[in-house]
């Protein structure tokens, strides 16, 4: 059995909505006994035996017995107070597995696999799938939609699509937009979705008109929602420049971080997001840190990770969010049941934790 000694869910109590900047730190994950021959599959077809089991230990000398799971007290402990710091969980992986996770999932790269054969009802919580079908059905019904000179939907089409779409977390924004006419570029979630459909080859613009491709028409058939989810997922995280669509605070933070490490982050989330966690905690445990990002602004890491990873994963139905329980408890994110049904991993654990990749 592979075991890990790790601290899960310890964070700055103010979390993503401000507060004192936490000290940069990382979980010390000691690799221990290895009886699986170094392989650690997760997700579909792997079973729970393939996952490293995490334990929480009391800090300091003479600590008491280890506790399985995460206690309420431990969840509210500031990571910066943990002796020795905390290492991200991806350091448990062999360098080759880390590099394979960074690459796009494909038939040749099976380190991260996307399930394309899920039943349609399993994708009911995926806003990307639901709203993509709204766009595809409208284009199919109208035959062709007129586009602007920039290749965007015209205002009347934008208004009609907004009426039919729902995006978790955008309710207040949509309320503000009520009664106003917007260009596609000003409705950034629709703009992102349109670009993903174009990049995936489901829509094509020709001579100022938008029309369905054969692949796009195929996605309207029964039993194709799993394939549509996988297509949009790959386009969003491995091809799109999310920073061009998703605003951050402060605004216009440059660069692709943390998008280039998406597979690594997903593997970390598969182990760390089973319980409610804060953005700060998930950044520390799952992200590949970049000092240049941390130096941009005290909240750059949190806002970029939340906007470019957690928010889109919520729209794919893989994560859920809740309001903070109180001012001192910022644990708002955890994975849904769909996460482990849609994503599976085949990675190798390192003989000893790596210093960095």
Backbone angles phi, psi at 138, to 5 degrees: -65, -45
**Using an 8 Å Cβ cutoff, are 34 and 331 in contact?**
no
pLDDT higher than 70, residue 356: no
Contact assessment for residue 106 and residue 231, using Cβ atoms and an 8 Å cutoff:
no
The answer for residues whose C-beta is within 8 angstroms of residue 279's C-beta and 6 or more apart is 15, 16, 302, 305, 306, 310, 330, 332, 333
Which pLDDT does position 32 carry in this prediction? 32
Checking if the pLDDT of 325 tops 50, the result is yes
Q: Which of 64-73, 137-146, 308-317 has the lowest mean pLDDT?
A: 64-73
Q: What local confidence, expressed as pLDDT, does residue 355 receive?
A: 61
Identify the band that residue 175 occupies on the pLDDT scale cut at 50, 70 and 90.
confident
Distance of CA 340 to the CA centre of its chain: 13
Domain boundaries, the chain: 3-117+244-348, 120-222
Residue 136 has a pLDDT of: 96
Strand 67-68 versus strand 53-56 pairing type: antiparallel
pLDDT of residue 283 exceeding 90: yes
Using the predicted structure, report yes or no on whether residue 252 has a pLDDT greater than 80: no
- Inform me whether the pLDDT recorded for 187 exceeds 60: yes
Residue 248 C-alpha from the chain's centroid = 16
The average pLDDT across 298-317 equals: 93
* Locus of tokens 């579909």: 44
Burial class (CB in 10 A: 0-12, 13-18, 19+), 121: exposed
Q: Which CATH number fits domain 120-222: 3.40.50, 3.30.420, 1.10.10, 2.60.40?
A: 1.10.10
Average the pLDDT over each of 23-37, 232-246, 270-284 and give the range with the smallest value: 23-37
Residue 60 has pLDDT above 70, yes or no: no
Residue 225 has pLDDT above 70, yes or no: yes
Helix 95-102 to helix 262-272 angle (10° resolution) is 110
Look at residue 256 and tell me whether its pLDDT is greater than 50: yes
Yes or no: say if 236 and 280 are a contact pair by the CB < 8 Å rule. no
- Specify whether the CB–CB gap between 249 and 299 falls below 8 A: yes
259/262 Cα distance (integer angstroms): 5
How far apart (Å, rounded) are the C-alpha atoms in residues 7 and 172?
35
Lowest mean pLDDT among 80-84, 92-96, 179-183: 80-84
* CA atoms within a 13 Å half-sphere pointing along the CA-CB vector of 218: 10
Query: What is residue 333's predicted lDDT score, i.e. its pLDDT?
Result: 95
The answer to whether 132 and 138 are in contact (CB under 8 A) is no
Closest CA to 350 of 27, 31, 67, 127: 31
């Amino acid at each position: 059995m592979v075991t890990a000694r790790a601290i899960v869910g310890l964070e700055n109590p103010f979390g993503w909505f401000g507060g004192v900047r936490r000290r940069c730190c990382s979980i010390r994950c000691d690799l221990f006994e290895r009886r699986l021959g170094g392989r650690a599959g997760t997700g579909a077809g792997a079973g729970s035996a393939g996952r490293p089991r995490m334990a929480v230990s009391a800090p300091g000398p003479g600590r008491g017995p280890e506790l399985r799971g995460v206690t309420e007290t431990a969840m509210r402990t500031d990571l910066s107070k943990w002796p020795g710091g905390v290492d991200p969980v991806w350091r448990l992986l062999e360098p080759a597995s880390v590099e394979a996770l960074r690459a796009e999932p494909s038939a040749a790269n099976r380190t991260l696999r996307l399930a394309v054969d899920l039943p349609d009802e399993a994708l009911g919580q995926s806003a990307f799938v639901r709203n993509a079908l709204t766009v595809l059905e409208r284009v199919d019904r109208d035959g062709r939609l007129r586009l602007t000179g920039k290749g965007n939907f015209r205002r009347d089409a934008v208004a009609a699509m907004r009426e039919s779409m729902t995006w978790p977390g955008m309710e207040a924004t949509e309320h503000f937009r009520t009664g106003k006419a917007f260009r596609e570029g000003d409705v950034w979630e629709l703009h992102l979705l349109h670009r993903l459909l174009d990049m995936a080859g489901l829509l094509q613009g020709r001579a100022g008109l938008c029309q369905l491709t054969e692949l796009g028409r195929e996605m309207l058939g029964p039993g194709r929602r799993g394939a549509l989810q996988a297509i949009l997922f790959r386009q969003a995280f491995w091809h799109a420049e999310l920073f061009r669509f998703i605003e951050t605070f402060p605004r216009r933070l440059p660069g692709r971080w943390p998008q280039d490490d998406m597979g690594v982050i997903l593997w970390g989330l598969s182990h760390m997001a089973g319980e409610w966690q804060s953005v700060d905690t998930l950044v520390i445990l799952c992200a590949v840190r970049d000092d240049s990002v941390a130096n941009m602004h005290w909240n750059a890491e949190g806002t970029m990770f939340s906007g470019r990873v957690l928010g889109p994963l919520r729209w794919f139905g893989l994560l859920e969010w809740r309001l903070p329980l109180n001012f001192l408890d910022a644990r708002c994110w955890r994975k849904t049941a769909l996460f482990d049904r849609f994503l599976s991993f085949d990675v190798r654990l390192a003989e000893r934790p790596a210093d960095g990749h």
